[in-house]
Amino acid sequence: MRVLLILNRQPYDGTDVTWNALRLAGKLLEKGAVVRIFLMNDAVDLAREETVKPDSYDQDLVAMLKELISKGVPVKVCGTCMARCGIHKGKPYFEGAEKATMNDLVEWVLDSDKVLTF
């Protein structure tokens, strides 16, 4: 099964939405699913080195994403959002997070059995 997770929210927004999405990705991977992650809107900060875990937050979401990448999960990040979104507008994405386009997202959506948005 091919599962696409689309994340839209700022990583450390005071909720557990991003954390739960990354946890789900890991569990799906453990069960043998092909998992892909696309970051857009303010979620693009998740793929930037400048994003650090606030002292008040107990989970390092950037480290979680990097671990998923190290396990073979492809991560694409909206190129247009690089300049428009997040606290760190204009900053590059770290290695393993590929700058992508809306056409790339369309291809992943069409090639997925399930698409989940967070």
**Backbone angles phi and psi of 38, in degrees to 5:** -120, 125
Confirm if 48 and 88 have CB atoms less than 8 A apart. yes
pTM of the model: 0.95
Q: Over the stretch 47-96, which tens digit does the pLDDT of each residue have?
A: 999 999 999 899 999 999 999 999 999 999 999 988 888 888 888 899 99
Ordered by where they begin, the domains of the chain are: 2-117 (3.40.1260.10)
The token pair at 108 is 């992943």
Of residues 67, 68, 81, the one with CA closest to residue 10: 81
Distance of CA 21 to the CA centre of its chain: 9
